[in-house]
Amino acid sequence: MESFIIYPLAVLFLVLALVVYFGKGDWLIAGYNTASEKERAQYNIKRLRLIITLLMLLSAVFVVVLLHFPSISIIATPIFVVVTLIGVVLANTWAKK
């Protein structure tokens, strides 16, 4: 039953990852879409797109893996949280000019 929700969600993450990667989804990046031009100039948008794309791809893989292997959620969920936090830190450091 959950697969009716999980697979479309994973496909949505994959599609949105491609949209962001190819530069058509900058409005999906939280904070960047509401920033002023001066604030946007502080970021390397290509690096920021790469980080967001990788986080979306990771999210797609995560939900599908947990659907098929729910017993690893005790290990996988903290790993996912840590990797997401690393992505946030990279978005605010490595993606800055």
Count of C-beta atoms within a 10 Å radius of residue 29 = 19
Q: What is the pLDDT at residue 3?
A: 84
Condensed to tens digits (0 to 9), the pLDDT of residues 16-40 reads 999 999 999 999 898 888 899 999 9
Condensed to tens digits (0 to 9), the pLDDT of residues 38-89 reads 999 999 999 999 999 999 999 999 999 999 999 999 999 999 999 999 999 9
CA distance 36 to 14: 28
Q: Which two structure tokens, joined as six digits, stand for 64?
A: 């599908």
Domain boundaries, the chain: 3-92
Q: What is the pLDDT at residue 1?
A: 56
Q: What is the pLDDT at residue 55?
A: 96
- Specify the length of the chain in residues: 97
9 closest CA partner among 74, 86, 65 = 65
pTM of the model: 0.89
CA distance 3 to 9: 9
